[in-house]
Amino acid sequence: MIHYIILKINFDLMRTIFETIYPIVFSLIIFVLMISLRNYIQTLVATKSGDHTAKAEGFLSINPLQHIDLLGILLFAVSGFGWSKKPPINEYSLPKKLHRLLVYMSPILVNISFVLLTLLILVILKVFNIESSYIILEFLYKIVHVNLAYLVIHLIPLPPLDGYYMLTTLLPQKLSFSFETLREYTPWIIALILSPYSPVYYEINALLSTYTWSILGLVY
């Protein structure tokens, strides 16, 4: 009887640990894969457009070690927000506005592709009546949630986020220079928005969770 109680306690403890850890592990796997593909695709588009700067520094690779920033991934594991190394872009090698816009849009398109691919998987599961475990559905949820979060954040027009470079590419040169003055304030603004202790962070996270489940509910 005592052995049974001990085994049950150990089993419950292991299950609790597993249920606590696996969402974090899922998120980290998705985050690493996402940042690697984002950087790789941006470098590929930049190279095809005439800028070989990022390629020369090794960013034309899907090896996660090339893209991971240690502090960024540790912060992501703790708070759900992190960053990667950023491929350097030399705008002087991209004289055409269209090429610059494609380079800055390409990481955003990677996030959208992840979401659409996940929805396609869910449609296939539903059409062919394939039963899926909760863990698989949780993993698919994390793919959509992490990519939507990164998509929304990077559309903010603050340097060095993608939204800033897309906006300044489209704006007249004088206006784009005026946006450069925001650079010194960007870390504080982002910290205010995305700090785990900020009420703004919880509101954004709650909205993203709601919209993620809503999107998944459309197809599954």
The model's pTM is: 0.86
With tokens 């020369």, the residue in question is 56
Tokens of 150: 């990164």
Cα(26)–Cα(170) distance, integer angstroms: 37
Q: Please, are residues 46 and 87 in contact by the beta-carbon 8 Å criterion?
A: yes
pLDDT at residue 180, as a whole number: 74
Give tens-digit pLDDT for 102-115.
999 999 999 999 99
With tokens 């996402």, the residue in question is 34
DSSP secondary-structure letter at 175? H
Query: Cα–Cα distances in Å, from 93 out to 30, 73, 165?
Result: 32, 31, 15
Asked if pLDDT for residue 2 goes beyond 70, the answer is no
Backbone angles phi, psi at 68, to 5 degrees: -70, 130
